[in-house]
Structure 1
Amino acid sequence: MIEVLNHLKSFFQNNFWEDLCRYCPTNLRIGLVCGVCIGIWWLMRKPHGIPPGPRFTLPIVGDLLFLEKESQPVMLRNMRDKYGDIFSIYMGSSLFIVLNGYDVIKEALVKYGHIFSDKPHMFMYDLISDKKGIVFTSGQLWKEQRKFALETLREFGFGKTILEDKVHEEIGYYIEVVDTHNGRPFDMCRLTQAAASNIISSLVYGNRFDYDNLVFKEYLNGVDEMFEDLGSTAVLNFLPVLRFMPGDLFKYKRTLKNLWGVENTIIKPSIQEHLENYDENNTNDYISSYIKEMKRVQKEGQTSYINEDNLVKSIGDLFVAGTETTSTAILWTILYLLHHPNIQDRCYKEIQDVVGSGRLPSMKDKTSMPYNEAVLLEVLRKANVVTIGTPHSLNQDTVFRGYNIPKHAIILPNLDSVLADNKIWGDADVFRPERFLDNDGKVTKPDEFIPFSLGRRICLGESLAKMELFLFMTTMIQRFEFKPVDPDNLPKLEGVIGITNSPCKYEVRAVPR
């Protein structure tokens, strides 16, 4: 590229324009100028009738050079103020349509969900998913995988109190590790991720892993690095040619390495083990149930996407849906308790009044502990773990609220525009759990409370995440008092945007009560 620029510089410095004017007829010069202008217009033109957005869209890079150097939520809030509830952005050659506000998002994802529920083709997403599994697929393939996942997990107690045994078992191991620190400062991040991951493991594989298991630790490290690299690899969705640059600036090679490691460390060996020891009368985990369905459709000669390749990718999707949001929400909750010790004290008092110290809190206690539930709801709102819902696409060109939305456009439902909207919450920037309590002290949730998004693509792990968050936090508050390492220097309430909006790394003291 530098060599090309040097040639151009030399070309123009050698009296190019002087020679052009001397030897080129006027009409030809005018034609060349018009041709260049038309070429630039052709490359920068936008489809007719799309939502407003930045005026000057450049070839190749799109609007990237004109976007504000702010955090993602702040940038999108400013753009909403400028362009309205529906606006467009070009990332490279990809057209993104950002939906803002509860009414707009609900209309698109619920009322017109039959149009807005496909998944877009983006380079890194297609690479990671291989266009298989649950999260990044569309059409009949997606319907089959999601339907099987929901029915199977529901059968195992997904969203029901029968699942409590698995959650309580994991909480027991989790508390043991926290207790060993005896009130000394430590980082709970990896431990919390491991605990949440183990609950999914028990559902998918039929067993949990010791926290010190080297294979499990390698697996978690690979997943963690893939999450961390999402910000860098996202650029390749718009400019995939950059993956050929020397080195690994955009983490492409590391992502491929970790993807291979994640699938080959635990997922594929576990599937192989289940195949070798398959017993159709003993299908008590997700993999064995999937194998049973595979054998059924093969025996009946049905055309189906229930196959081993989709099983591999579906397992990865389940771990993302059931691990990252839950562990991140737990870490945000503890962080907010450090900033609001009075709220922590009130949670503890309610737990003592309802449960005491002799047994673990259970889901049947939830209705009797409205303040604890309100705190968790406020964490999900204020921390906004998923600031933007997963990308959607359309299955046809459509007109939505007066705008032409082409089929190839990528739809981004901006959940932050709802959860942080002062018009809805009044004081959205304030952490105030009481907003979820009515005059009688009972929990109330406005329709605008959508931390898990809306429509057909609503988070697959929502019910499990809510159960885990309630059981983990009420048990932890029952057993420990969370204190800052330095009361005069509290960890910042700032997020790091990756696959989720995660709190910055921090240490905490969990003092046994």
Structure 2
Amino acid sequence: MVPMLDLIKKIGTMFEGISTLNVTTGLVFTVVCLFVWTCTRRPRGIPPGPLITIPILGHLLQIGANPIKSFQKMRKQYGDVFSVYIGNRLVVVINGLENLKEAFVIKGDVFTARPNTYVQDIVAGNKGIFFSNGSIWKEQRKFAVATLRHLGMGRNILEANIQEEATVFLEELATTRGQVTDIAHLVHNAVSNIICTLVFGKRFQYNDPKFVKLLKVVAEDISVSPLADFMPLLRFVPGDLLKINRTIKNAEMVEREFIIPAIDEHLEHYDDDNIHDFISAYIKEMKIMESLGETNTSMDRENLRIAITDLFLAGSETTGSAIRWFLLCILHFPEIQDKCFTDINRIVGCSRPVSLKDKVNLPFVEATIMETLRFGDIAPLGATHGVLEDTTLKGYRIPNGAIIMPNIDSVLSDPIIWGDPENFRPDRFLDEHGKITKSEEFIPYFIGRRNCMGESLARMELFLFISNMIQKFQFVKADDEPLPSLEGEFGLTHCPKPFKMRAILRD
């Protein structure tokens, strides 16, 4: 064996004659190679994606501020199933109806999970309806769906509540007297009140300070950057760049000032013979489980608290944004507004409100609402999913721990399906006889086991609000101002940028 000292001398001899510059160059070259290798290596078998992965950022620079347009380009380059890194999280993006059906319908048992993310763990944990998994999710969703149906969701018995709120909303809208205004707050007040009626058993006055404060923090939380879940360490950067700390404080405030008092009030005045809202129905189920000595249940106060938040957020923001998208689109295409009014005036007149029974006779109005949901693309990436175990999709390995993004936009904006998806054209949903035509590619509320459970309620709200708005008002752009942009803003949803208009009472 060569003594260590001799070995060192031999190595030193090898480097004799090599200049310091060459050694430095070699070291730099080695470091660069290691850096490139680190940035380009990908786990074996996962879906393809961009080659260069920047440490800490992942592919954020390639994705940019508009993930939808970026994903459209990546789909063309890498195929219907591709992957990116956001921060250090592997994200698998699934495009195309058939692939979405394979993942979330055929393989729904595996793809039903919610991934572990920072904001979810802090705000909800594995509780409630939206963010929970496994047996908790199954029990919570099953109860919520059954209870909301009992309370009238999807059935005509809820129509009276929606009509009542629509009437109040139209009266408030009339107070603008045709002046230029942004009615976003009125829209969200009205839609949120319908959820309040279902969940809390009461509506709120639009100027109620408590209600105003609640809607303000909801609007703030909806605008939070999705990057909050991928790069939580940025919460320590001065200025709360991704609004993570604000979101956590808002959640605590809503719980402290709104949800917990509502639960306490329902418990104090609980009447087994007067189950009139979601909270009272939930409390009844809790008492039944307690009387049976059932310990293997998630029907408890903590899950109720989170479920209330889930229902309120899911049931107010998306429908409110859809109404705003409708108003924005008819400002750009007044001939569509005129046709909607002509049909309503011919079928219903102006002496009574439009009701659900009129829906079948107003196919163009319904087609316009459907086109609004397609064009507005309110939830283009749906909600993030995970997989319960390592699995495959289209021959690619999908590892447990990956975040799954269902690209709903890839269906709603596909030129192969729609021909001219960039155009707002309601008649694409009408057949040659002027009747509504069903299309399996129309999936604004998603598909599979995690689809939107409030879809039937949302459809009722949209028809009753929009048809009665058109019956009573003509909506026009602000005088001497250009039309507001049809480009939306990305937060947790895709919503219109703030815009103003005039709502003129019809004669």
* TM-score bracket, shorter-length normalisation: over 0.9
Which whole-Å CA distance do the structure 1 matches of 2:355 and 2:307 have between them? 30
Question: In structure 1, what residue type is equivalent to 2:324?
Answer: L
Amino acid in structure 1 at the alignment position of 2:372: V
Aligned to 1:3: none
Shift of 1:226: 1.1
Asked if the contact 2:204/2:211 (under 8 Å) is kept, the reply is yes
CA distance in 1, matches of 2:19, 2:238: 44
Secondary structure at the aligned position of 1:456 is classed as: coil
- The equivalent residue for 1:248 is 240
TM-score (norm 2): 0.92
How many angstroms does 1:70 deviate by? 5.3
Among 359, 367, 371, the residue aligned to 2:360 = 367
Tell me which amino acid in the other structure corresponds to 1:61. Answer: L
Return the alpha-carbon distance in structure 2 between the equivalents of residues 287 and 247 of structure 1.
Answer: 38
CA separation in 2, counterparts of 1:191 and 1:265?
22
**Partner of 2:503: helix, strand, or coil?**
strand
1:409 Cα shift?
0.9
The aligned residue for residue 10 of structure 2 is none
Question: For residue 152 of structure 2, what is the aligned residue in structure 1?
Answer: 157
1:226 has 2:221 as partner: yes
Give me the whole-angstrom Cα distance separating, in 1, the residues matched to 2:351 and 2:228. 54
Please report how far the alpha carbon of residue 247 of structure 1 lies from its aligned counterpart in structure 2 after TM superposition.
3.5
Cα distance change of structure 1 residues 169 and 488 upon mapping to structure 2, 3 Å threshold: same
Distance 2:80 2:30 in 1: 37
Where 2:99 maps in the other structure, the secondary structure is helix
**CA 1:467–1:81: 2 relative to 1, 3 Å:** same
- 1:274 counterpart (245, 266, 274): 266
Structure 2: how far apart are the matches of 1:439 and 1:159? 28
Residue 101 (1) aligns with residue 93 (2): no
Match of 1:291 among 283, 294, 299: 283
Shift, 1:106, TM fit: 1.2
Distance change in 2, residues 1:267/1:19 (3 Å): farther
Uncovered stretches (5+) of structure 2, i.e. residues with no partner:
1-14
Partner in structure 2 of residue 469 of structure 1: 462
Structure 1 runs of 4+ with >4 Å offset: 18-23, 29-40
The CA deviation at 1:95 is 0.5
> Distance in 2 between the 1:500 and 1:91 partners?
18
Letter in 1 for 2:276: N
Measured on the aligned residues, the alpha-carbon RMSD in Å equals 2.3
In the TM superposition, 1:107-506 aligns within 5 A as 107-228=102-223, 230-231=224-225, 234-302=226-294, 303-486=296-479, 489-506=482-499
Deviations 1:32-87 (A, max 9, x none): 9879956874675321111110112233322223x153522111111111111110
Q: Does 1:46 align with 2:39?
A: no
Partner deviation per Cα, 1:173-228 (whole Å, 9 max, x = no partner)? 10110011111111110111111100000010100000010011111111111112
> Which stretch of structure 1 is more off in the superposition, 51-60 or 266-275?
51-60
Equivalent residue letter for 1:74: K
1:13 counterpart residue number: none
How far apart, in 2, do the equivalents of 1:21 and 1:166 lie? 86
CA distance in 1, matches of 2:443, 2:269: 42
Equivalent pairs: percent with the same residue?
Answer: 45
State how many pairs are aligned: 491
Structure 2 equivalent of residue 58 of structure 1? 54
User: CA contact under 8 A between 1:321 and 1:460: conserved in structure 2?
Assistant: no
Tell me the alpha carbon deviations over residues 263-296 of structure 1, each in whole angstroms, 9 at most, x when there is no partner. Answer: 2221110001001111111111100000010111
2:502 counterpart SS class: strand
- Counterpart amino acid of residue 58 in structure 2: G
- Deviations along 1:97-141, one digit per CA (max 9) or x if unpaired, are 001111111111111111111100011122222331111111111
| TM-score, normalised relative to structure 1 | 0.91
Distance 2:234 2:314 in 1: 29
Q: Is the 8 A contact 1:51 1:403 kept in 2?
A: yes
Per-residue deviation, residues 285-308 of structure 1 (Å, max 9, x unmatched)? 100000010111111121101111
Letter in structure 2 aligned against 1:280: D
Query: What SS does structure 2 have at the residue aligned with 1:455?
Result: coil
The Cα shift of 1:505 comes to 0.6
**CA–CA distance in 2 between the matches of 1:489 and 1:38?**
53
Residues of 2 paired with 1:366 and 1:460: CA distance?
22
Instruction: Pick closer, same or farther for the CA change 1:391–1:185 going to 2, 3 Å.
Output: same
